[in-house]
Amino acid sequence: MRVVLLSALSVCVSVLAQTSVDSYIATESPIAKAGVLANIGPSGSKSQGAKAGVVIASPSTTNPDYLFTWTRDSSLVFKALIDQFVSGADTTLLGQIQNFVAAQKIIQQVSNPSGTVSSGGLGEPHYNIDETAFTAAWGRPQRDGPALRATATIEYANWLLKNTSVANVVSTLWPTIKLDLDYVAADWNQTTFDLWEEVSSSSFFTTAVQHRALREGAALATALGQTSVVANYNTQAANTLCFLQSYWNPTGGYITANTGGGRSGKDANTALASIHTFDPAAGCDAVTFQPCSDRALSSLKVYVDSFRSIYTINSGIASNAAVATGRYPEDSYMGGNPWYLATAAVAEQLYDALIVWKAQGSLSVTSVSLAFFQQFLPSVTAGTYAASTSTYTTLTAAVKTFADGFIAVHAKYTPSGGGLAEQYSRSNGVPVSAVDLTWSYAAALTAFGARAGVTSPGWGAAGLTVPTTCQTSGSGGGGGGSTGTVAVTFNVVATTVIGEDIYITGSVPSLQNWSPDTALILNPDNYPTWSITVNVPASSDIQYKYIRKFNGVLTSWESDPNNDFQSPSSGSLTRNDVWR
């Protein structure tokens, strides 16, 4: 009798929680939509001074000053609006989309501290809201922006292709899209500041969205008859997919967000990457880290759990219940608080997973995702469970409750007026940092949409395989014709402190395919010259960089550009470098 009563009580609590979430979404959805539109120039109520189609990050001008336009944020926001438009959910958005496209066309051409349109300027992270360059010191370049802008614009281009003509898309949109795709194809493997603008290394989020952009860019180019670029985009997409695998940490069971920065790598970056590269047709593919893949679910659990004990507002919450989450556990910005968009992203990934499980009529538990599922059903074992089984029913119901829990946390710390700031206090949940953050509103809308089963068009993630041989240089260059190897000695002059060592990693397997975790340590016998001899493929284009580790922990990469050379067809070679 006690078990029956407890079960009935559990169902009752779940229904009450769902009702509360339903009520919050019904109230918050129009507020979030209005919040997005208020921050878009020229007529948004909180975006005075912004040119047409320019998205302000926030109207906040002090502590912090966010009255700028970021390429990344703007592209994510407009991707959400374009999704609504092409699905027919809001057909009034066409003018806004046209303004966005026109504004980005102008911004692409603005010379800035990262360069010109043809010399790296597309990697500039943000601009003044009058479409002029921001010239003060900043973490630049940030290479996710061009990829995200391409993805947003490609979706609109595909709609135009269905509703107008190839000639129209080629003349109006293709030149803008091609600039971004060419940048991604050429520079995807250069170091970048991450989406939090703090760490300069390689970033999982950036690599994932670059891979997506190249795939859908190749498909659009084919549809438009722009065949000259297709081979390069496809080649670099394959190389990017190859590099994407290197972020997986099999020992820790999570995706390492950045290759630098000296942090754990547990980061909202990874959940955000999963939802922004979601392709419903790809199922639970682990190669592209789809939301329901074993890797993405395992990583999500590790990420969420990292916040359970560090925020006061998470005290006393069960180990398998939703909690407030932030960017990463080591965060100290504005006191290191939970972010509304991070908490929403967890819910969205879980809702995306539920969408796919429902569509395929089953879910699979693997040794990788076992810990994720066992938090809801401790007795579950690895296997595939059809929708007709009680295991499937139990697990999907529990995941839905778990996902709703994150929306409930989001709701709990949303003020009565519905305004969404950037963060909410780790100690009492009061909104902090920039008010009316556009990305917070957009993230709420996409999470709510995912809960309702809304999906975006796919981008070609289904059925992809990782190449057996990876060429991880961003230039599009391949190897030569020889199948042998040659010995290359790498010498680098680098001064260090006690406990610090110099390592090397690069674009071929013998240089560890750009992996900082398995990078090769150099010998300091002739200090300050550090040396190593490595057998590399003969007659090949090879890129490499040196990195620093302190007591085995990565602290920094060499600055850009990558070192590169053509290996000889036979014999040996010595490379003499100085740490940059």
**For 559, which DSSP code?**
P
According to DSSP, residue 228 is labeled G
CA angle at residue 292 from 286 to 293, to 5 degrees? 20
Q: Which of 83, 131, 194, 216 is catalytic?
A: 194
Nearest to 297, CA basis, from 361, 202, 370, 238: 370
549 φ/ψ angles, rounded to the nearest 5 degrees: -130, 140
Which pLDDT band holds residue 15 (cuts at 50, 70, 90)?
A: low
User: Would you place residue 421 in the very low, low, confident or very high pLDDT band (cuts 50, 70, 90)?
Assistant: very high
Per mean pLDDT, which range of 275-279, 377-381, 545-549 is the poorest?
545-549
From 178-182, 227-231, 438-442, 551-555, the region with the lowest mean pLDDT = 551-555
Q: Tokens 């502590």 label which residue?
A: 63
Can you tell me which residue has the tokens 């939703």? Answer: 322
Residue 566 has pLDDT above 90, yes or no: no
CA dist., res. 505 & res. 513, Å (int)? 7
- Per the structure block, which two tokens stand in for 139? 């973490």
Q: Output the pLDDT for position 427.
A: 98
533: confidence class by pLDDT, cuts 50, 70, 90: confident
Using DSSP's 3-state secondary structure scheme, residue 255 falls into strand
Q: Over 60: is that where the pLDDT of 12 sits? A: no
Please state whether 477 falls in left (phi above 0), alpha (psi between -120 and 50) or beta.
beta
The per-residue pLDDT for 517 is 84
User: Per-residue DSSP letters for 410-459?
Assistant: HHHTS-TT----SEE-TTT--EESSSS-HHHHHHHHHHHHHHTT--PPP-
Q: Identify the pLDDT of residue 502.
A: 96
194 in catalytic set: yes
Give percent of the chain with pLDDT exceeding 70. Answer: 94
Report the pLDDT averaged over residues 157-182: 97
SS (H, E, C) 280-315: HHHCCCCCCCCCCCHHHHHHHHHHHHCCCCCCHHHC
Please state the rounded mean pLDDT for residues 32-39: 98
Q: Is 557 annotated as a binding residue?
A: no
How confident is residue 4, by pLDDT bands cut at 50, 70 and 90? very low
Q: How far apart are CA 212 and CA 202, in angstroms?
A: 16
81: which residues sit within 8 A by CB, 6+ positions away?
36, 90, 93, 96, 97
Res. 321: pLDDT tops 50: yes
pLDDT, position 537: 82
**Res. 486: pLDDT tops 90:** no
**Amino acid, single-letter form, for residue 322:** A
What is the model's pLDDT at position 446?
98
Sheet of 523-526: strands edge to edge?
Answer: 523-526, 529-537, 485-493, 572-578
CATH number (1.50.10.10, 3.40.600.10, 3.40.50.300, 3.30.9.10) of 250-456 reads 1.50.10.10
| DSSP reduced 3-state for 400 | helix
**At 384, which amino acid appears?**
T
Distance of CA 66 to the CA centre of its chain: 21
- State in words which class domain 485-578 has: mainly beta
Band of residue 492 on the pLDDT scale cut at 50, 70, 90 = very high
- Confidence (pLDDT) at 19: 74
Structural tokens at position 360: 């395929």
Please compute the mean of the pLDDT values over residues 499-507 and round it to a whole number. Answer: 92
| pLDDT value of position 442 | 98
The answer on pLDDT for 474 being more than 90 is: no
Give the Å distances, CA to CA, from 250 to 270, 466, 517. 15, 17, 12
CA distance 448 to 103: 28
What pLDDT does 472 receive? 55
Containing H/E element for 526?
strand 523-526
Q: How confident is the model at residue 17 (pLDDT cuts 50, 70, 90)?
A: low
**Which residues, 6+ apart, have CB-to-CB distance to 552 below 8 Å?**
none
Compute CA 417 distance to the chain's CA centroid, rounded to the nearest angstrom.
30
Which range among 221-225, 234-238, 537-541 shows the weakest confidence by mean pLDDT?
537-541
**9 confidence band (pLDDT: 50, 70, 90):** very low
List helix spans (H) across 43-143.
Answer: 71-87, 94-108
Average pLDDT of 72-82?
98
Could you give the maximum distance between any two Cα atoms of the chain, in Å? 81
Catalytic residue among 90, 197, 330, 500: 197
Lowest mean pLDDT among 87-91, 154-158, 520-524: 520-524
- The CA distance from 283 to 346, in Å, is 18
Place of tokens 């600039």: 179
Q: Which residues pair with 192 in a beta bridge?
A: 201
pLDDT on residue 513:
83
Distance between CA atoms of residues 176 and 150, nearest Å = 8
Taking 70 as the threshold, does the pLDDT of residue 530 lie above it?
A: yes
Distance (Å, whole) CA 90 – CA 99: 16
Contact 194, 257 (CB under 8 A): yes
Residue 14 — pLDDT band, cuts 50, 70, 90? low
Lowest-confidence region among 8-22, 228-242, 281-295: 8-22
C-alpha dist (Å) from residue 193 to 133, 196, 560: 18, 8, 12
Rounded Cα distance, 183 and 567, in Å: 26
Q: Are strands 523-526 and 529-537 parallel, antiparallel or unpaired?
A: antiparallel
Backbone angles phi, psi at 571, to 5 degrees: 80, -140
Q: What is the signed CA dihedral for 233, 238, 244, 249, rounded to 10 degrees?
A: 180
pLDDT of residue 482: 36
DSSP code for 40: B
- 322 and 408 Cβ atoms separated by less than 8 Å: yes
Provide the whole-model pTM: 0.81
In angstroms, the CA 282 to CA 296 distance is: 14
Residue 565 has pLDDT above 70, yes or no: yes
* pLDDT for res 514: 85
Sorted by where each begins, the domain ranges of the chain are 250-456, 485-578
Each residue's pLDDT tens digit, 257-273: 998 888 899 999 999 99
Residue 404 among the catalytic residues: no
Q: Are 437 and 414 in contact (CB under 8 A)?
A: no
In the chain, count H helices and then E strands.
14, 19
